[in-house]
Amino acid sequence: VHPAVRSFFDLGERIINYDGHTKALLSIQVTELLDGVFIGFSMNHSVVDGTSFVHFVNSLSEIFRSDPQGDESPIKISRVPLYKIFAPEGYGPIFKLPYLEPEEFISRYDPGPLRERIFHFSPESMARLKAKANEECGSGT
What residue segments make up the domains of the chain, in order of their start? Answer: 3-67+94-137
Q: What is the mean pLDDT of each run of 10 residues along the chain (141 residues)?
A: 63 49 71 85 76 86 78 80 72 68 70 76 89 80 55
> Which pLDDT score is estimated for 108?
67
Distance CA 21, CA 29 (A): 19
Q: What share of the chain is helix, strand, coil (3-state, %, to 5)?
A: 30, 10, 60
> Which pLDDT score is estimated for 60?
84
> Which pLDDT score is estimated for 24?
66
> Which pLDDT score is estimated for 5?
65
pTM of the shown model: 0.46
